[in-house]
């Protein structure tokens, strides 16, 4: 049985768990190849005294720096996560210190993606997510198949909205039956139903967000 990630809430599932695209490694990998090439050239020139010895030192330092850069890039890649769950969008980065962003799906307004022609060929790109959060807009680079990720986010947003309305309906039904008001939900006008929702909100059966969403849904029927 697969281990459930610790950050998940009850009844929450992981939909996507992505690391950056391999394009993330291009610059440090190119530097590593270049340093190796310089080292080979220096060795092929042979040992001609002090000048060659200095060249060997420089080539060695270049190779050491390139290996270090590539190693740091790999650690950054392995500790960078872009996670989409059935409830949230989660981003985590950092090696020694960790940083994270969590955006509830119901607070996401718009998802944009950007790709150059070359990025389309290698299937990578950037995502920009506008949300009703303090940051307002969040950008994520080197996302694999950004168009597919965009579509999956919208799909999970719709499912999350549907589940939320189902939960509100279930709570209303349970509260009315348990409170001796069974049957009072039928034949009532929309203002009366909104008043019932407000009563449930004050009792703590519904959250403020659930009350506002259900109220908006009822007002649209007027």
Cα–Cα distance for residue pair 197/164, rounded to 1 Å:
15
pLDDT (0 to 100) of residue 172? 62
Q: List Cα–Cα distances, 102 to 21, 89, 107, 193, in angstroms.
A: 21, 6, 10, 34
* Domain boundaries of the chain, sorted by first residue: 24-77, 183-222
94-125 pLDDT, tens per residue? 877 778 888 888 888 899 999 999 999 999 99
Cα–Cα distance for residue pair 163/27, rounded to 1 Å:
44
68-78 pLDDT, tens per residue? 999 999 999 98
pLDDT (0 to 100) of residue 215? 78
- Pick from 65, 82, 75: nearest CA to 31: 65
- pTM score, two decimals? 0.65
127 pLDDT above the threshold of 60: yes
207 is written with which tokens?
A: 């959250």
Classify strands 88-93 and 99-104 as parallel, antiparallel or unpaired: antiparallel
SS3 104: strand
46 φ, ψ (degrees, to nearest 5): 80, 180
């Amino acid at each position: 049985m697969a281990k459930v990630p610790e950050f998940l809430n009850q009844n929450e599932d992981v939909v996507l768990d992505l690391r950056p695209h391999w394009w993330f490694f291009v610059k440090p990998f190119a530097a590593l190849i270049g340093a190796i090439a310089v080292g080979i050239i220096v060795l092929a020139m042979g040992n001609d005294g002090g000048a060659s010895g200095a060249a060997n030192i420089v080539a060695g330092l270049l190779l050491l720096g390139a290996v270090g850069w590539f190693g740091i890039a790999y650690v950054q890649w392995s500790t960078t996560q872009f996670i989409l769950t059935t409830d949230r969008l989660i981003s985590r980065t950092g090696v020694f210190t960790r940083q994270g962003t969590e955006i509830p799906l119901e607070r996401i307004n718009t998802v944009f993606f950007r790709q150059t022609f070359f990025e389309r060929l290698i299937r990578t790109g950037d995502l920009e997510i506008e949300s009703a959060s303090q940051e307002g807009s969040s950008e994520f680079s080197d996302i694999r198949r950004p168009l597919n990720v965009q579509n999956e986010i919208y799909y999970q947003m719709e499912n999350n909205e549907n589940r939320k309305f189902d939960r509100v309906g279930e709570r209303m039904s349970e509260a009315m039956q348990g409170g001796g008001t069974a049957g009072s939900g039928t034949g009532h006008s929309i203002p009366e139903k909104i008043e019932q929702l407000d009563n449930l909100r004050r009792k703590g059966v519904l959250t403020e967000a659930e009350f506002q969403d259900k109220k908006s849904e009822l007002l649209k029927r007027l």
